[in-house]
């Protein structure tokens, strides 16, 4: 059988690094692996994945994609993890948010291949929902309240209109262990643990709800979709909510860390999300119904508290 090719776009980011690790750990994999990066290429990644090809790509201009064609060829699967994902940064520069988050250059590049049937797995967000009820389903109307959500809706629409083989994953907050090359962004569980471990009182929203998803579950979902396409070869047009099974507030997230670590919950001060100006509107409740995910892939995501325990254990001090 011809060896397959998997390309992780945004391979130096949080999810990207976890994906590279998982794909690389498969014994005798039937595929070759490559990834793209935008700014820096950490030495630790090159050392960790010596058999993976790395390409510098600018998704806004499409610069660097030709080099992928020449050195790697047409990928059978592209996982697009690249995004401007900080809502405040998107609000400050809507043009950049749209040009980075809508993968027009990526889809145009894939269209240049004679057999335009690559599976595009695209990471979207729960922030496409308005946030006025609990447990959104995939067919619910998308009414984003900020530029980040709007750019992700635009991306979903662009892919659905311009590509025939895709899986769009509306991810909630992704949490889990740190990556091989530590990412600059603050990781939610590690941040909470750091604050509470110092005995500092901290404020947490009690009225903003999400379904945080353990990173290794997201990886498992992407690997399952990849395997399905490689083995069956049947084009898919999937839209899936990718969240954990639990609807939790930021305060409940902090309480879970406190219980597992043995910190006093008196350090957790409850505040309303409406009392803080974050420079960007944030939806109040974008918890998601994940029935379609469970039924389609036969995958049951990890309960939140168990994911927190696994995360803290992986950090080596739980």
pLDDT truncated to tens, each residue of the chain (318 aa)? 589 999 999 999 999 999 999 999 999 888 999 999 998 899 999 999 999 999 999 999 999 999 999 999 999 999 999 999 999 999 999 999 999 999 999 999 999 999 989 999 999 999 999 999 999 999 999 999 999 999 999 999 999 999 999 999 999 999 999 999 999 888 999 999 999 999 999 999 999 999 999 999 999 999 999 999 999 999 999 999 999 999 999 999 999 999 999 999 999 999 999 998 888 999 999 999 999 999 999 999 999 999 999 999 998 744
**pLDDT tens sequence across 234-284:** 999 999 999 999 999 999 999 999 999 999 999 999 999 999 888 899 999
Cβ neighbours of residue 177 under 8 Å, at least 6 residues apart? 215, 310, 311, 314, 315
Domain assignment present for 149: yes
End-to-end CA distance of the chain: 45
Q: What is the pLDDT of residue 82?
A: 96
Kindly report the CATH number assigned to the domain that includes residue 155. 3.40.50.720
Q: Is residue 224 in a domain? A: yes
Helix axes 94-101, 147-162, angle to 10 degrees: 30
Backbone angles phi, psi at 274, to 5 degrees: -70, -10
Place of tokens 């990834």: 35
Residue 76 lies in a domain: yes
Residue 186 covered by a domain: no
Query: CB-based contacts of 99: which residues, under 8 Å, 6+ apart?
Result: 59, 60
Please report whether residue 125 resides in a domain: yes
252: CB partners within 8 A, 6+ apart = none
Contact assessment for residue 297 and residue 223, using Cβ atoms and an 8 Å cutoff:
no
Residue 63 makes CB contacts below 8 A (sequence gap 6+) with: 57
What's the whole-model pTM score?
A: 0.97
Q: Give residue 318's pLDDT.
A: 40
DSSP code string of 142-180? P--SSHHHHHHHHHHHHHHHH-SSEEEEEE--EE-SPPS
- Cα separation, 123 vs 82, in Å, equals 8
Name the domain count of the chain: 1
Task: State how far the Cα of 165 lies from the Cα of 127, in Å rounded to an integer.
Answer: 23
- The count of other CB atoms within 10 Å of the CB of residue 98 is 18
Within a domain: 69: yes
Instruction: Assess contact for 276 and 211: CB atoms under 8 A.
Output: no
Domain membership of residue 79 as a residue range: 4-177+212-245+286-304
Q: Residue 1 has what pLDDT?
A: 58
CB 116, CB 105: distance < 8 Å? no
Residue 313 lies in a domain: no
In a domain, 254, yes or no: no
């Amino acid at each position: 059988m011809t060896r397959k090719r998997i390309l992780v776009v945004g391979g130096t980011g949080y999810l990207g690094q976890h994906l590279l690790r998982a794909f690389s750990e498969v014994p005798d994999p039937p595929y070759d692996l490559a990834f793209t990066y935008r700014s820096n290429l950490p030495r630790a990644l090159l050392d960790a994945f010596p058999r993976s090809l790395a390409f510098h790509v600018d998704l806004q201009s499409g610069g660097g994609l030709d080099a992928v064609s020449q050195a790697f060829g047409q990928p059978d699967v592209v996982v697009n993890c690249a995004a401007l994902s900080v809502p405040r940064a998107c609000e400050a520069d809507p043009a950049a948010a749209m040009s980075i988050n809508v993968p027009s250059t990526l889809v145009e590049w894939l269209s240049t291949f004679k057999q335009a049937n690559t599976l595009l797995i695209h990471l979207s967000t729960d922030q496409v929902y308005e946030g006025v009820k609990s447990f959104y389903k995939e067919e619910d109307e998308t009414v984003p309240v900020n530029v980040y959500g709007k750019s992700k809706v635009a991306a979903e629409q662009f892919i659905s209109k311009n590509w025939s083989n895709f899986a769009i994953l509306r991810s909630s907050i992704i949490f889990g262990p740190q990556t091989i090359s530590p990412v600059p962004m603050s990781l939610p569980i590690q941040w909470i643990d750091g604050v509470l471990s110092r005995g500092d009182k901290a404020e947490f929203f009690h009225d903003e709800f999400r379904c945080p998803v353990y990173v290794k579950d997201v990886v498992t979902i992407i690997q399952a979709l990849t395997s399905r396409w490689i083995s069956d070869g049947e084009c898919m047009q999937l839209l899936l909510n990718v969240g954990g099974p639990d609807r939790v507030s930021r305060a409940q997230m902090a309480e879970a860390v406190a219980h597992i670590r043995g910190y006093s919950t008196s350090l957790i001060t409850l505040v309303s999300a409406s009392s803080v100006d974050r420079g960007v509107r944030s939806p109040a409740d974008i918890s998601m119904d994940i029935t379609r995910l469970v039924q389609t892939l036969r995958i049951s995501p990890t309960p939140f508290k168990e994911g927190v325990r696994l995360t803290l254990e992986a950090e080596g001090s739980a």
